[in-house]
């Protein structure tokens, strides 16, 4: 388990803690917000519970937006929520606009709280200019899907996780696709170039032009202007250059915010009774001795269980190895760890010849700091488990695909 729950609370303990909290407000009705209200009820909270969401849609999952929904193989990614049975007061289409002592201000009036969980997620970083598509919401996905037509010229800015998935979908729709990336290789924010370059051939194989080392200065409805002055014409422009936490509404609240609401490993903020989870949070990680910004689905799924416990007076910590996956060009790509962790690179399998392969980064003592695994889900599960546990592996065993990842534990008999 990556979530360290100190011990199970007795029913009496839970009740003692819960009676101090009469109204919990959760702001942000995405995965993290929904998981928070669910976890609060599962952990015995019976007081008033309000979930505030700016979008008019009930909570839904975002990963399918750039996959099945953009591909046209699904039309919905709603998350299961029955407000009546969960006894949650769901306020959709309501935006939090400010926070002052014990009160969330919204565009529909003030909400006093005893406990507050911030789960407002993130929003796309925008480029100068107009007319580009950004992909964050369900509405964005349907707007983009409607213009991905055979023969359409599509320019995608950014060859990160999202850019690659949009490129995959656009090519499958028969569009003529160019991806412009300012770094030298794809997914450069997470992968060093010697590994990122192994993803580049997938673009050409899908019939996509990948232009690396090119910065887009301005986007327009009919194309993009590169920093050098060249214009690339397009029927559709899509920008996927990263996200920033949606925390503008907290300006002036006194909360410490630095590219995310600053929280400890207990997910508590600098204000009493206020916690933050998911993409909106920047949590301190004792494991890495650094601050980690969410941005991944797994965080939004799991951190709320700890946040709910601590909102009710618990003392739990959340400090997993971060995990993200991406489905691009017919490949399942899974990454765990943090890019800044460094380490010695160990290849498992050969990206040039093997259908599945992996790159591991090991600490000098053999612990797995990060791993990238392509089309080998079992290797990923085993590697992630070893990384979580901090178990040292033997690099010579690890690089041999004939030996299972779990059998590469240093000193283990095979
Ligand atoms: C297209 C797409 C594909 C993705 N694919 C993957 C993937 O394959 N793998 C992976 O690991 N991760 C993926 N992610 C990332 C993952 O979806 C996010 O990390 C996750 O959704 C974060 O959940 P969240 O609840 O913290 O934030 P969000 O999902 O952003 O939800 C936050 C909600 O809060 C609302 N809100 C914001 N401000 C306010 C306010 N002031 N008042 C009220 N409500 C507000 C927003 O409207 C939003 O509905 C993808 C993201 C996108 C956009």
Any ligand 1 atom below 6 A from CB of 281: no
* Residues 45 and 118 both lie in one domain: yes
Judged by average pLDDT, the poorest of 13-22, 146-155, 162-171, 303-312 is 13-22
| pLDDT tens column, 196-238 | 999 999 999 999 999 999 999 999 999 999 998 899 999 999 9
Whether 182 is in a domain gets the answer yes
Q: Closest Cα to atom 7, ligand 1: which residue?
A: 63
Q: Closest Cα to atom 14, ligand 1: which residue?
A: 63
Whether 36 is in a domain gets the answer yes
Q: What is the pLDDT of residue 235?
A: 98
In ligand 1, the atom with minimum distance to the C-alpha of 278 is: 26
* pLDDT greater than 50 at residue 7: no
Whether 326 is in a domain gets the answer no
Any ligand 1 atom below 6 A from CB of 62: yes
* Residues 307 and 372 both lie in one domain: no
Q: What is the pLDDT of residue 18?
A: 52
In ligand 1, the atom with minimum distance to the C-alpha of 124 is: 53
Ligand 1, from 105, 120, 136, 295: best to mutate by most atoms within 8 Å of Cβ? 120
**Single residue among 239, 259, 282 that ends a domain in this structure:** 239
| pLDDT tens column, 65-108 | 999 999 999 999 999 999 999 999 999 999 999 999 999 999 99
Judged by average pLDDT, the poorest of 12-26, 162-176, 340-354 is 12-26
Instruction: Give the integer Cα–Cα distance in Å for 289 and 272.
Output: 24
Rounded to 5 degrees, φ, ψ at 220 are -135, 165
Report CA torsion sign: 248, 252, 258, 260. negative
Q: Return the residue matching tokens 């004792």.
A: 286
Q: For residue 283, how far is the Cα from the chain centroid?
A: 14
Any ligand 1 atom below 6 A from CB of 246: yes
| pLDDT tens column, 12-32 | 455 445 556 799 999 999 999
In ligand 1, the atom with minimum distance to the C-alpha of 57 is: 49
Q: What is the pLDDT of residue 258?
A: 96
* pLDDT greater than 50 at residue 1: no
Please report which helix (H) or strand (E) contains residue 305, including its range. helix 297-311
Whether 325 is in a domain gets the answer no
* pLDDT greater than 60 at residue 296: yes
User: What CATH number has the domain bearing residue 227?
Assistant: 3.50.50.60
Instruction: Give the integer Cα–Cα distance in Å for 325 and 320.
Output: 15
* Residues 349 and 291 both lie in one domain: no
- What are 394's two structure tokens? 């033997």
Whether 95 is in a domain gets the answer yes
Q: Return the residue matching tokens 């019939």.
A: 207
Categorize the per-residue pLDDT at 342 as very low, low, confident or very high, splitting at 50, 70 and 90.
confident
* Residues 92 and 160 both lie in one domain: no
- What are 367's two structure tokens? 């612990």
In ligand 1, the atom with minimum distance to the C-alpha of 165 is: 3
Which strands form 331-336's sheet, in the order they lie side by side?
A: 323-328, 331-336, 368-374, 357-362, 344-348
Q: Report which of residues 295 and 135 the model is more confident about.
A: 135
* pLDDT greater than 50 at residue 3: no
In ligand 1, the atom with minimum distance to the C-alpha of 325 is: 9
* Residues 189 and 257 both lie in one domain: no
| pLDDT tens column, 36-60 | 999 999 999 999 999 999 999 999 9
* pLDDT greater than 80 at residue 4: no
Q: What is the DSSP string of 41-79?
A: HHTT--SEEEEEESSSSPPB-SGGGGTHHHHTS-S--BP
Average pLDDT over residues 258-274: 97
Whether 414 is in a domain gets the answer no
* Residues 235 and 291 both lie in one domain: no
Any ligand 1 atom below 6 A from CB of 300: yes
Percent of the chain with pLDDT over 70: 94
* pLDDT greater than 90 at residue 264: yes
Any ligand 1 atom below 6 A from CB of 260: no
Cα 61 to averaged position of ligand 1 atoms, centre (Å): 8
* Residues 16 and 115 both lie in one domain: yes
Categorize the per-residue pLDDT at 167 as very low, low, confident or very high, splitting at 50, 70 and 90.
very high
CB 264 within 8 A of CB 283: yes
Cα 243 to averaged position of ligand 1 atoms, centre (Å): 10
* Residues 117 and 256 both lie in one domain: yes
In ligand 1, the atom with minimum distance to the C-alpha of 248 is: 41
Any ligand 1 atom below 6 A from CB of 253: no
Average pLDDT over residues 237-263: 97
Find the domain containing 45 and state its range: 11-123+243-311
**Single residue among 209, 239, 269 that ends a domain in this structure:** 239
- The single-letter DSSP state of residue 319 is -
Whether 1 is in a domain gets the answer no
Any ligand 1 atom below 6 A from CB of 360: no
How many structural domains are present in the chain?
A: 3
| pLDDT tens column, 350-379 | 999 999 999 999 999 999 999 999 999 999
Q: What is the pLDDT of residue 294?
A: 76
* Residues 71 and 143 both lie in one domain: no
Cα 30 to averaged position of ligand 1 atoms, centre (Å): 6
Ligand 1, from 63, 242, 321: best to mutate by most atoms within 8 Å of Cβ? 63
Any ligand 1 atom below 6 A from CB of 243: no
* Residues 115 and 247 both lie in one domain: yes
Nearest to 370 by CA among 356, 392, 387: 387
Which strands form 96-100's sheet, in the order they lie side by side?
A: 96-100, 103-106, 109-112
Instruction: Give the integer Cα–Cα distance in Å for 191 and 337.
Output: 11
* Residues 233 and 264 both lie in one domain: no
* Residues 143 and 116 both lie in one domain: no
User: What CATH number has the domain bearing residue 382?
Assistant: 3.30.390.30
Whether 329 is in a domain gets the answer no
**Single residue among 268, 294, 311 that ends a domain in this structure:** 311
């Amino acid at each position: 388990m990556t979530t360290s729950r100190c011990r199970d609370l007795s029913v009496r303990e839970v009740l003692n803690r819960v009676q101090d909290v009469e109204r919990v407000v959760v702001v942000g009705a995405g995965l993290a917000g929904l998981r928070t209200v669910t976890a609060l009820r599962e952990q015995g909270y019976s007081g008033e519970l309000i979930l505030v969401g700016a979008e008019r849609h009930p909570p839904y999952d975002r990963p399918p937006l750039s996959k099945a929904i953009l591909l046209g193989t699904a039309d919905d990614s709603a998350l299961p929520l029955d407000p009546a049975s969960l006894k949650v007061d769901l306020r959709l289409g309501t935006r939090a606009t400010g926070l002052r002592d014990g009160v969330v201000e919204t565009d529909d009036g003030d909400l006093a709280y005893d406990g507050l969980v911030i789960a407002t997620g993130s929003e796309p970083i925008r480029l100068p200019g107009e007319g580009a598509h950004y992909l964050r919401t369900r509405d964005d996905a349907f707007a983009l899907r409607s213009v991905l037509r055979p023969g359409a010229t599509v320019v995608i800015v950014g060859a990160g996780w999202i850019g690659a998935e949009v490129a995959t979908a656009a090519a499958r729709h028969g569009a003529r696709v160019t991806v412009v990336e300012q770094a030298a290789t794809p997914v450069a924010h997470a992968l060093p170039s010697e590994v990122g370059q192994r993803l580049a051939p997938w673009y050409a194989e899908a019939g996509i032009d990948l232009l690396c080392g090119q910065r887009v200065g301005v986007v327009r409805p009919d194309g993009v202007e590169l920093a050098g002055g060249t214009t690339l014409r397009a029927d559709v422009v899509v920008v996927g250059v990263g996200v920033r936490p949606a925390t503008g509404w907290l300006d002036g609240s006194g909360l410490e915010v630095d590219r995310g609401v600053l929280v400890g490993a207990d997910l508590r903020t600098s204000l009493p009774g206020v916690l933050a989870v998911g993409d909106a949070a920047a949590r301190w990680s004792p494991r890495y001795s650094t601050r980690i910004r969410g941005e991944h689905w797994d965080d939004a799924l799991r951190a709320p269980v700890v946040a709910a416990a601590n909102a009710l007076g618990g003392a739990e910590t959340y400090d997993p190895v971060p995990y993200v996956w991406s489905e691009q060009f017919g490949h399942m790509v899974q990454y765990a760890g943090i890019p800044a962790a460094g380490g010695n690179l160990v290849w498992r399998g050969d990206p040039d010849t093997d259908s599945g392969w992996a790159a591991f980064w090991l600490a000098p003592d053999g612990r797995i700091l990060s791993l990238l695994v392509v089309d080998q889900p079992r290797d990923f599960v085993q590697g992630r488990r070893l990384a979580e546990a901090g178990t040292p592996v033997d690099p010579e065993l690890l690089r041999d695909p004939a030996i299972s990842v779990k059998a590469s534990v240093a000193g283990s008999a095979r």
